[in-house]
Structure 1
Amino acid sequence: MVWKKWTSRILMVGGLSLLAACGSESRPAEVIHSQAAGDVALLIEREDGAGPYVESTAERFRVVASGEAIKSVRWSANAGAVEPAAERVTWTLPTAGSASLSVFVETESGKTAEGAFHFNVVAAPLASSSAIDTGPDVTGSSCDIAFDSTGNGHVIYTNDTHNSLWYASWDGTSWTRELIEGPGFNNGGVFVVKGVLAVDPVTGTPHVAYSKGTGSLATATTRVGYATRVNGTWVREEVDAAVVMRFSLALNPAQAQRPVIVFSTNSTGTLKVATRTAANTWSTVSPSAASLSLTSDALFDATGALHFITHQNASGYVNQSLQVLRGSTLESFPLKTSTTAPWLATAWAPDSHLLALSNNISEGEWNAIEDIAVGTPAASSTRRVSTVDYKYASSDLAYGGGKPVVALRNGTALALGTTDAQGFWTYTQLGTVQDSSRPSVAIRPTDGVPHVCYQRDGKVSFQ
């Protein structure tokens, strides 16, 4: 029985009847009765959903036994992530293709029944490309995108014509833009090189770290600044007077989303960690006496332990290590040794797995992405390395719906990559972008759809 191409077919398995309900439809749910006397008729309802079944989307289902009280239920699926809760289940759908959800029910009267429920899962649609800033200036050689828990989008980007930093917010329909920092008159405003963004997932408050300075920005000594939006106004703060080359910003969930900036004073200099303890007040420490340089996005875990990757030069080679800062104790776990130290985008996967994606690779490089099972202490961690694509020049990483999502730029071509049910990468071409720019990717939590910001035709764009 097929209602539409995306609705589920009903299987008769061992005399059990399974029915798909179409979410918000108002018509009575249909039950297919078994031909054998004494069988249990079950109704499976789709909750809070309508339309096609889209990959990476969290769908919720409920099973009801006709005329029977349910004693126990067991859910399973051939792919995707299943989170059972008695008669209900949340199923994060796998990649596009056929998928099945199975249920086993035991009633209080001792009857049992089981069956499989089949779906046609469709690919997640990407929003059509649009310019975030349609003004006459060149924008977007650097951008960073994030979403809050309500699905509102947040982007920071550079105005490359005037070397300033801008913020844009998206309500699902349109963009609103605001200046964060740039050249100014008697207000301390200076030129901005690049910025990074972190968003409080609950309040939607944006926090921004950025490098700023004057003179030739290709060779100028820059320092790190911070800005946040308070009552509709951007408040800018000085963080540290040291020279900064690489930096990252993270919010500590164990301390009410307190901002922390990790940075290196130069490419082989002293690593520093700056914590915002109050408005315009920062506490800066050097957690290691060794000459470590930051080489990844920083991430907190739920306990407040700070994770980031560093490199250290030794006899012409670069030794990379995962660093875990627990309170004032710095723990390390060695990663790879190579001749280069590209930036690594990081993201959390389930069960304390930290994923780290190299910003660029040599052709055919094997360890483009690290999957680090972080241990306590960090020295007990384990790692696996994998390929992503044969070559790419710039990238970013996110994780959602039970799988990683990567944005890959190779020259002027941009692709979105994710894995199928067997773990192989699949790629969706997003069109042409500006060469020498870096894309940013984030997954909208309300619908599971990945979105990217990037530079196209000299404009910061969104898709």
Structure 2
Amino acid sequence: MSMRKMWVPRILMLGGLTLLAGCGREPRPVEVIQSRGAEGVALLIEREAGTGPYVESTAERFRVVASGEVIKSVRWSANAGVVEPSDERVTWTLPTAGTASLSVTVETESGKTAEGAFQFSVVAAPLASHSAIDTRPDVTGSSCDIAFDSTGKGHVIYTNDTHNSLWYASWDGASWTTEQIDGPGFNNGGVFVVKSQLVVDPVTGTPHVAYSKGTGNITNTTTRVGYATRVNGAWVREEVDSSVVMRFSIALNPAQAQQPVIVFTSNPSAGVKVATRTAANTWSTVTPSTSIHALTSDALFDATGALHFITHQSASGYVSQYLQVLRGSTLESFALKTSTSAPWLATAWGPDSHLLALSNGISEGEWNAIEDITVGTPAASSTRRVSTVDYKYASSALAYGGGKPVVVLRNGTALTLGTTDAQGFWTYTQLGTVEDNSRPSVAIRPTDGVPHVCYQRDGKVTFQ
């Protein structure tokens, strides 16, 4: 680490602190740099109530001291993060991972001034150690979905692969509680579950689940879409539509009191359908367009109640993708890309109407793994940028928080968490070995900004 210094007569210069967490040494909370001025006055900076690495989103407190001088005024600033000055002290909420700078200018009662800039190596928030969510003997978690509510409570749905059933788990910050949602049962309407997706009301913490279910050969049976929610401590299951379901996604409409809406494709020639829950066990299904499109992404509402999802249309061996925006009964479209494949796209909202869409899997070196779509009104006025994420991966999930995207990528049996640094480059954290052909999920806990993932390890649904 280096810090630029400029010396002039009767100027006291505050020296640099080495705060590089990745160097394997504990950072020193206080370091005194002597002045080269004639008065021999020394200044020092102290880190208060903090040890170890500097972790993003953490509020750190510092104090500046002038040896032999009375401080008259202090000015604090930083190139990133949030600074809350209080005379000689400052609280600095650290920015995202990367290099950040904190500066201070001091004026003493005797009329002397000093200034300095300090470089910090800020590291990503650490993940919790992994633990099995469901420890029973069954194989669980080939697919899972994780979400948090505004209180930081964790919610996960996952498959019991031994019995083709669907389960829910809640986390209070210390332990998991598991409950069955659907699966094979006796005289209770329970059937086999194939796929599922979870959304959570951020305020009430109520989980809402869409899933495909049916009987017969799981690999090729026809399935229909079901819905479940937790009411007064018990799971309520509902039939949504009698049509065959291929792909589906569930979203909550914030403009309609978090009303559940399920978007699904029954078959490509039938187009995309939108089912809205108008009352308990009552669903209204519409087909917004007669065009032959198939759903290929998670659905998301914006704050105004406009529904966003991505579809694909096949022709002559190529697949054309479109962003679809349903505003009331009007469907608007924006063309994305044309390629030979149509992977599922995980979506997340970034700031300022930016919709991020991440391909579930990519071939080696595919350049358009993630779409950054600035949604316009109408949708045809939208713009897009495409970026790489990693050289290749087989399954992925996406979240956004703390001013940056977070992805989890599975390549064979290796699982990686990816975030961006201050320059926008991806940084990768290896999470260890997972089951091949499994699907992970990622979400950011709003109370501390830490990303968490669920995945399958050693045949168990696992949380980290």
Q: Normalising to structure 1: TM-score of the pair?
A: 0.83
Where in structure 2 are the equivalents of 1:28-427 lying within 5 Å? 54-57=54-57, 59=59, 76-77=78-79, 79=80, 82=81, 91=93, 93-96=95-98, 98-102=99-103, 116=117, 118-427=119-428
Q: For residues 182-214 of structure 1, what are the alpha-carbon distances to aligned partners after superposition, in whole Å with 9 as ceiling and x for unaligned? A: 111111111100110001111111111100011
Question: Structure 2 regions of 5+ residues with no counterpart?
Answer: 18-32, 65-69, 108-112
Change in CA separation of 1:421 and 1:231 when aligned onto 2, cut-off 3 Å: same
Q: Distance in 1 between the 2:373 and 2:237 partners?
A: 35
Contact 2:56 2:123 in 1 (8 A): no
Letter of the 2:403 counterpart:
G
In 1, the alpha carbon distance for the partners of 2:427 and 2:324 equals 31
- Tell whether the 8 Å contact from 2:54 to 2:120 is kept in structure 1 after alignment: no
Report if aligned partners of 2:78, 2:100 keep a CA contact under 8 Å in 1.
Answer: no
State the distance in 2 between where 1:76 and 1:301 align. Answer: 33
1:332–1:115 distance in 2 versus 1, CA, 3 Å: farther
Which is higher, the Rg of structure 1 or of structure 2? Answer: 2
Deviation digits for residues 402-451 of structure 1, max 9, x if unmatched?
11111111111111111111111111111111111111011111221111
Pairwise CA distance, 1:291: 1.1
Call closer, same or farther: CA 1:363–1:57 in 2, change over 3 Å: same
C-alpha distance in structure 2 between counterparts of 1:343 and 1:138, whole Å:
25
CA contact (8 A) 2:410 2:416 kept: yes
Would the alpha carbon gap of residues 120 and 363 (structure 1) be closer, same or farther in structure 2, given more than 3 Å must change?
closer
- Code of the aligned partner of 1:296: S
Shift of the alpha carbon at 1:59? 3.4
Query: What displacement does 1:266 show?
Result: 2.1
TM-superposed CA distance for 1:119, in Å, is 3.4
When the two chains are superposed, the root-mean-square deviation of aligned CA atoms in Å is 3.5
How has the CA–CA distance of structure 1 residues 288 and 458 changed in structure 2, closer, same or farther, with 3 Å as cutoff?
A: same
Give the letter for the 1:253 counterpart: P
What SS does structure 2 have at the residue aligned with 1:405? strand
Q: Distance in 2 between matches of 1:321 and 1:265?
A: 18
Q: TM-score, normalised by structure 2?
A: 0.83
Whole-angstrom distance in 2 between the partners of 1:400 and 1:250: 19
Deviations 1:84-124 (A, max 9, x none): 7898987452215x412457999xxxxx9986454342332
Q: Is the 8 A contact 1:396 1:408 kept in 2?
A: yes
Report the Cα offset of residue 126 of structure 1.
Answer: 1.4
Cα displacement (A) at 1:284: 1.2
Amino acid at match of 2:325: V
- Please state how far the C-alpha of 1:455 moved relative to its aligned partner: 0.8
Distance in 2 (alpha carbons) for counterparts of 1:114 and 1:233 = 62
Tell me how far apart the structure 1 counterparts of residues 461 and 446 of structure 2 sit (CA, whole Å). 22
The separation in 2 between residues aligned to 1:426 and 1:356, in whole angstroms, is 19
Q: Relative to 1, partners in 2 of residues 1:274 and 1:92: Cα closer, same or farther, differing over 3 Å? A: farther
Aligned to 2:429: 428
Equivalent pairs counted in the alignment come to 434
Distance 2:185 2:105 in 1: 67
